[in-house]
Amino acid sequence: MSFVQQTQLAQSFSEPCGPQVLFTHYHRDACMFASPGQTLLAHGVAATLPLVMSGSPAALAGHAAAFLRQASEAGHAGWLIGAIPFLPGAAAHLFIPEHVELAGGGRAALVGGPRPVRTVAARSEPAEAVYEQNVSRALERIADGKLQKVVLSRSLHIQAELDQAELLQTLASRNPLGYTYAIPLPTANGERRSLIGASPELLLARHGNRVISNPLAGSIPHSSDPAEDRQRAENLLRSPKDLHEHALVVEAVAEALRPYCTDLLVPEAPSLLSTPTMWHLSTEVTGTLRDPATTSLELALALHPTPAVGGYPTAEAREFIQAFEGFDRGFFTGLVGWCNAQGDGEWAVTIRCRSRRDSRR
């Protein structure tokens, strides 16, 4: 079946409006990606990038670019939206929507505050004792010089009753400088799934010839006491351990972007970024794109995964995670975002998220 046959519904765009309107229009089958400067709400699926075409990161970027060109030639505005998993070569979920609504910034005006969530059951994977054992293993590898950094995680399986649209608006209102997203995933075993979250971390944005990456690494929770909170922030800026981890990430980002940029600005020291719950060490790396044919997705895949979510050296850290973490991350610590036919786009690191399963049809 040709692309034109697959996409008989013409993609249309609404006039720019406020983000509050788009959050009102959101429903659980829609797709949303809200960044500090723009909110995108997409409806329907005109065509999906075939999973067999995913392959390596380079192959995925090439197939996606060709897919977007076909969309443009078929009369569509050409937005590719979706999620990419943590592991290279795992099946990505990228699609062309039927209809897109856009809004500017201003999410600070959103009103959040969901009803209390009733949790039915919860369990951790791996269990706490296994996680502690994995941390000990990782420290041994670091002491032996086999790893400089490895980022271990745990997943929490929760059964709860909540309103998805309400949750999404609350996430966006709590952190208007973050990246709030809801991506419908392919149905599995009769269950409808959605990837929902609010990431503080921009992996890559491309707007025209301007390229931006904002890696975060090194964090500490806020304190409710203002004096203690200020002290924590100052300590984070002086922490040798956190500064070393942050430098590993920034160096990896800069090394990956240099071949694509005619100039690259890398600040000498990180700054502090505050979210509602955490302080983060933050560095904004900016550059000028060398080749206008290079898309935001290609750049993002060249960076992914950074040491902020995997570790360093990258391959060795990933092998350690696969061997000991105890669960398949799937889209967690992957990428979520969009790329248009001009190559512009925004891709956030898929953290602070959940993969929602809903057996209702």
pTM of the predicted model as reported, rounded to 2 decimal places: 0.90
Q: Which of 125, 128, 166, 201 is catalytic?
A: 201
The answer to whether residues 322 and 314 touch, using CB atoms and an 8 Å cutoff, is no
Q: Is the pLDDT of residue 6 over 50?
A: no
The domain limits of the chain are 19-208+292-351
Average pLDDT over residues 3-27: 59
For residue range 215-248, list pLDDT tens digits in order.
Answer: 999 999 999 999 999 999 999 999 999 999 999 9
Report pLDDT for 11.
41
Token pair belonging to 52: 């067999």
Q: Between these two residues, 313 and 10, which has the higher pLDDT value?
A: 313
The β-bridge partners of 354 are 196
Q: Is the pLDDT of residue 111 over 80?
A: no
Report pLDDT for 345.
97
Report pLDDT for 28.
83
Q: Between these two residues, 150 and 77, which has the higher pLDDT value?
A: 150
Report pLDDT for 8.
34
For residue range 66-79, list pLDDT tens digits in order.
Answer: 988 887 788 776 89
For residue range 295-336, list pLDDT tens digits in order.
Answer: 999 999 999 999 999 999 999 999 999 999 999 999 999 999
149 is catalytic: yes
The β-bridge partners of 279 are 220, 274
Non-local CB neighbours of 76 within 8 Å, separated by 6+ positions: 7, 10, 11, 46, 96
CATH superfamily of 19-208+292-351: Anthranilate synthase (3.60.120.10)
- pLDDT-based confidence at residue 19 (cuts at 50, 70, 90): confident
Report pLDDT for 1.
30
- Alpha-carbon distance 108 to 36, whole Å? 10
For residue range 171-210, list pLDDT tens digits in order.
Answer: 888 888 899 999 998 876 767 788 999 999 999 999 999 9
Tell me the pLDDT of the chain averaged across its residues.
86
140 is catalytic: no
Token pair belonging to 104: 């500017």
Q: Is the pLDDT of residue 160 over 80?
A: no
- Alpha-carbon distance 230 to 260, whole Å? 38
